[in-house]
Structure 1
Amino acid sequence: MQQKEPKLCKKCKTNKPSIIIQKDPVCQECFIGYVEHMFKMSLRLKCNITQKNEKLLICFSGGQNSTALVKMTSDVVYSTCAHNKSKMFIQAHVLYINESFIMKEFIQEYQPQDYIPFLTNECKLPFQTIDIQSIYPDPYVLLQQLHNLSEFGSSREDFVRLIKLHIIYDYAIKNGFQNICFGQNGQRLAADLFSQLSKGRGLSLQSATKYNYSFVYPINQNKLQILHPLKDLLNKDILYYLRLKSNINFPNFILGQHLSHAVKNKPANGNIDHLLEQFIDKLQEGFPSTTFTVLSSADKITLKPLLQQNYCPLCLEIRDQVYNRLEVETLDNSNQQLINHLRNNTKYYNKICFTCNRMLQSARELEKFYNLQGFPPLIIQLADLIQ
């Protein structure tokens, strides 16, 4: 009986395959070359990073995607890629926002991670660490605000994300960075797309999924570009790449997941973001084209230009006008007297967008939120500038 020849890598025809890429088995060396090639092409052709010495601010959170982003950026800066050794003459700078102050308050088993050896020894990129509470005049106001928000849904994580975005944009402007790189891969972007839609952020589809999205920061009218250079990669690509290229550990904590049994017993700890991530991941396992079908469909959606684009001071997304009856009824009008009181007696109620209103609905001490009492001066300055 004739023995079957052992399968070989579809690309190099020499080594044994170890992973499947687009239905083709490839070896480790060819896989790393594929990932690095996709990253370079995404930066050059889709994110439009073509100028010599162009400055990039790399946002690092310590998660898997941002770690891969930092590692790939280091490889293209120092010409240490596995296959294509061509160097990209870019000035990359890493920004890490330290959330230990919050995590220690809400997560009992939280252990701070030391990322300095990874950034300095392995990646050799200049970096800056900023504590998330540093923009607050009184850091403990941040903890009070998070405790006031509901532990159900994703209100607390949404609020932390908004504070981090303000820190990132402010740092980018003060240090001359026009391009800001985020590390979400295609699979995470697809989940984020559904998450944004479920929260009522339909107008933010472009900023959530595009390779390159530009907007004008209200303070000083600076133009910023949001880049997603890992959009062409999936979770399995990132995980296998890190397995081959780095030994860093990735603890996964959900903010406030230990607070009550009511939250623990809900799917994905009652968090809509994590629930949709699990949904997309399961679909991706059974139907490998899921992620790119979702993203390509999102790219075809065109938004009707608004005559006047007003922004929300919290999320900096376009603040739409609520005209649709279903959308109006989605807002909690069970206490119309309270809503009228907030609208007439708080300074910024009418400047908060639909989705941020949803985030704040279940909060205690609503007047403090809508008067931005205790908020960072940066956010108050934005709210005063925005019409």
Structure 2
Amino acid sequence: MCSIGNELENGSEKYMPHIDKTQVDKQKCNKCKEATPCILLRGKDSYCKPCFLLNTNHKFKLLLGKSKLIRPRDKVLVTYEIGHPSTALLHLIRDGLNLNTPKKLTFDPVFVFVDDQYHLSLSERKDVISNILTEAAHHEFKIKFLSFVDWVLYNRIILSDNSDYIKADDGDKIVSLFTKKMNETNRKEFFNIEKKNALIAVAKQLECKFIFKPDISVDVASNLLINISLGKGSQISMDTGFCDDRDDSVKVLSPLRLFDMKELAFYNLLNKLNPVAIRQIKVDPYSSAQNLLKKFVTELQEGYPATVTTVVKTGDKLVSDIKVLGKCKFCKGPVFKNSELNSEESTHFSKLVSTYLPDRDMSKQDRFDDIKKTFESTVYMTPQHCYSCSKISEYLLDDGSD
């Protein structure tokens, strides 16, 4: 019998050594080598408060500076989302703009919150908007609110400076229209793409060349596995890399992709920042591919702290060299075609052959050429959507009348 499991149980200390907290207390800060540390990251990296805050700011600016994409006075649309990452991003940007050194941030940020918290009541949503306004004002920023329902249902951009745009039934419209027609995996994918498309449209309207999204390392690692599971392997470099340049005029950047939640939570705590909190709904991890893979990565990270870092670095090395035919009409990702048929195309070809009623007066070669011509004219050979979006394309064309 296989004894690998027993070996892991009986000698687990060899693989995941126990951390003696008394030893941690005797350590010195990894950076200055003098002060007593108050922060422990990844089970081994300890920092004092000044060094931790300095390192966090340096890490944020290093990634932006290394890319050399943003020029002085460029307008950047910063996506605000509820939680520690966005609160930390607000403070990091304000801190960088206030500097009087060569390391000062020189771009002009514009903050936008996409209102899609439809599980909340009307009063709760208005309270959230009020709290976000307070947090933005604390950092001396103004923030605009985008009505997600108006974008999804009517393809129009409604921006507001407060909660006046909220209607009592706007959330019900989306829930009734899509929840009953899509499974949870397709629904999440649909809303994620629509949210990105909405932000790109807003960026163009506000003349912003870049968008900051507050995705952290666990989001990047999860999205990599999600892309593979949904058949979006060719989009990994765009969805999980630092820069998503699928749009010709607006680039989507992830300046927090190398941070984990613990780092940003400590950053907020040490700066006495209180992120906006909302009522959460209980999520079934088995209801969608996205939820399941997020649970898988998160739980694996708890036992093996290098998991997320390994996945992120692996994703950075993945590049697609497949011939691109064009862009998907929905997600704007690459649409490609292999020289050989994939499994779905082969199944469709087999179905076409089995239901084909040929003219008996035609030769075998003529019948084959007729079948081939018919197949090559189908949507399978001239796709308008990438593989993933083709699974929800019927909903994109549905007017919702039924």
Q: What is the TM-score when the length of structure 1 is the normalising length?
A: 0.74
Alpha-carbon shift at residue 146 of structure 1 (Å): 2.0
Secondary structure of 1:242 counterpart: helix
The 8 Å contact of residues 85 and 264 in structure 2, kept in 1 or not, is answered as: yes
Residues 1:63 and 1:149: Cα distance change in structure 2 (over 3 Å): farther
- The equivalent of 2:62 in structure 1 is 41
Contact 1:103 1:110 in 2 (8 A): no
Deviations 1:230-273 (A, max 9, x none): 1221222122222223112434745xx5xxxxxx7x5x151322
**1:227–1:14 CA distance, 2 compared to 1 (3 A):** same
Q: Secondary structure at the match of 1:96?
A: strand
State the alpha-carbon separation in 2 of the partners of residues 231 and 183 from structure 1.
8
1:356 aligned partner: 389
CA contact (8 A) 2:73 2:107 kept: yes
- After superposition, the Cα gap between the structure-2 partners of 1:24 and 1:64, relative to the gap in structure 1 and judged at 3 Å, is closer
Query: 2:6 — aligned with what?
Result: none
1:103, CA displacement in angstroms?
2.5
SS at match of 1:15: coil
Counterpart for residue 374 of structure 2: none
Residues 1:178 and 1:305: Cα distance change in structure 2 (over 3 Å): farther
- 1:244 maps to which of 249, 266, 270: 270
Greater RCO between the two (CA within 8 Å, min separation 6)? Answer: 1
2:37 touches 2:46 (CA, 8 Å); kept in 1? yes
C-alpha separation in 2, matches of 1:131 and 1:8: 49
Question: 1:157/1:302 Cα in 2 relative to 1: closer, same or farther (>3 Å)?
Answer: closer
CA distance in 2, matches of 1:247, 1:146: 34
Which residues in structure 2 correspond to 1:84-99 (within 5 Å)? 86-99=103-116
Instruction: Provide the residue aligned with 1:126 in structure 2.
Output: 142
- Whether the aligned pair in 2 keeps the contact of 1:312 and 1:318 (CA below 8 Å) is no
Which structure has the larger Rg over C-alpha atoms? 2
Match in the other structure for 1:154: 185
In 2, Cα distance between the equivalents of 1:212 and 1:275?
26
1:28, distance to aligned residue in structure 2 (A) = 2.2
Residue 242 of structure 2, aligned match among 207, 211, 220:
211
Secondary structure of the 1:351 match is coil
Gaps of 5+ in 2: 1-21, 156-169, 356-376
Give the letter for the 1:57 counterpart. Answer: L
CA distance in 1, matches of 2:137, 2:347: 49
Query: 1:13 matched to which residue of 2?
Result: 33
What are structure 1's unaligned runs of at least 5 residues? 217-221, 258-263, 338-343, 361-365, 376-387
> What CA distance in whole angstroms lies between the structure 1 residues aligned with 2:347 and 2:82?
36
Read off the aligned partner of 1:24 and give its amino acid letter.
D
Distance 1:240 1:202 in 2: 34
Q: Deviations over 1:123-165 (max 9, x none)?
A: 2123211111223349565333322333x54332222222211
Query: How far is the alpha carbon of 1:327 from its aligned partner?
Result: 4.5
SS at match of 1:183: coil
The answer (yes or no) to whether the contact 2:325–2:334 under 8 Å persists in 1 is no
Matching residue within 288, 302, 307 for 1:271: 288
- Partners in 1 of 2:74 and 2:276 — Cα distance? 31
Instruction: Verify the 8 A CA contact 2:324 2:335 in the aligned structure 1.
Output: no
Measure, in 1, the Cα distance between the counterparts of 2:202 and 2:125. Answer: 27
Instruction: Write the distance in 1 (CA, Å) between the matches of 2:79 and 2:137.
Output: 15
- The DSSP-based 3-state class of the residue aligned with 2:78 is strand
Residue 318 (1) aligns with residue 334 (2): yes
1:15-164 equivalences under 5 Å are: 15-21=35-41, 23-46=44-67, 48-79=68-99, 86-100=103-117, 102-104=118-120, 112-113=127-128, 114-121=131-138, 123-135=139-151, 136-137=153-154, 141-150=173-182, 152-164=183-195
Shift of 1:57: 1.0
Q: Is the 2:112–2:145 Cα contact (8 Å) retained in structure 1?
A: yes
Distance 1:109 1:55 in 2: 32
Query: Within 2, Cα distance between the matches of 1:353 and 1:157?
Result: 17
